[in-house]
Structure 1
């Protein structure tokens, strides 16, 4: 929880700086078009891969397996999709890292560690 406030301050500052830099280097219109295009591509990739994850989870459940890895992939896809639909170059980069299967595989141990810490420190609540 102590990381949330700095993230909400630092990330927007970095995004604004990157917007200004991109506007100077590429121009206003290409920068805006890139942001719109990245949001559209992010929504498409998230939907496509999300539907595949749902089918995989249903298949695993029908065979009596627990779809833990598939659910973790779904969490990563959700986070990546949210990042891609948020305007900004930094968030787009983070979102792509969570959507690309190869890099998602590298990031999953970090996500597992974070979830375990949330449960361990009782910062994760069920209602």
Structure 2
């Protein structure tokens, strides 16, 4: 798929997501009232900040080797990445992103999403072209040529004709 079509699809997705979020806020305002809707949006933003802070503390604990007792490394990484993703989704104003954030917090959903993404990222070629080429691979070697000090003479002065 060419880069332009991927960016067009991504742009279309972002516009549709923005429309869905605005629609959900208007719909919630009509049902629950403006004050309640603003309170829910504020509460989801606070929940997002708390999730991000918690993920930061958990990540720091792992870096200092105090955390993740009894967890496999990939489970802990999935949990940490899930907390960060949920926190960001809760920070986005709207209720569809909050619903996605809640889903990512569920361990079964989180494990499925991130393991699927990990499998796809391993099959993505390093040079960025898709689909990956299965063509001829030619092995080779490189030789570094280092100039000797005798070869490095200062440039001669300009001459006039």
Tell me the TM-score normalized by structure 1: 0.72
Q: Name whichever of 95-104 and 11-20 sits farther off.
A: 95-104
User: Does residue 9 of structure 1 match 2:15?
Assistant: yes
- Cα–Cα, structure 1 residues 122 and 29, in superposed 2: closer, same or farther, change >3 Å? farther
The match for 2:115 among 94, 109, 115 is: 109
The structure with more radius of gyration: 2
Q: Partners of 1:17 and 1:105 in 2: how far apart?
A: 30
Per-residue CA shift, 1:69-118, capped at 9, x if unaligned?
5444433332221111111101111122223434322322233134335x
CA contact (8 A) 1:39 1:85 kept: yes
Partner of 1:59: 65
For 1:55 and 1:68, locate their aligned partners in 2 and report how far apart those are by CA, in whole Å: 16
Match of 2:40 in 1: 34
Unmatched segments (≥5 aa) in structure 2: 67-72, 129-161
> In the alignment, which residue of structure 1 is the partner of 2:26?
20
Q: CA 1:5 to 1:77, structure 2 compared with 1: closer, same or farther past 3 Å? A: same
The alignment yields a C-alpha RMSD, in angstroms, of 2.7
Q: In 2 relative to 1, CA 29–35 (structure 1 residues): closer, same or farther, beyond 3 Å?
A: same
Matched, 1:120 2:145: no
Q: Structure 1 pair 114/38, CA: closer, same or farther in 2 (3 Å)? A: farther
Partner of 1:64: none
Matches within 5 A, 1:49-88: 49-59=55-65, 67=73, 70-88=76-94
Between the two proteins, the alignment pairs up a number of residues equal to: 117
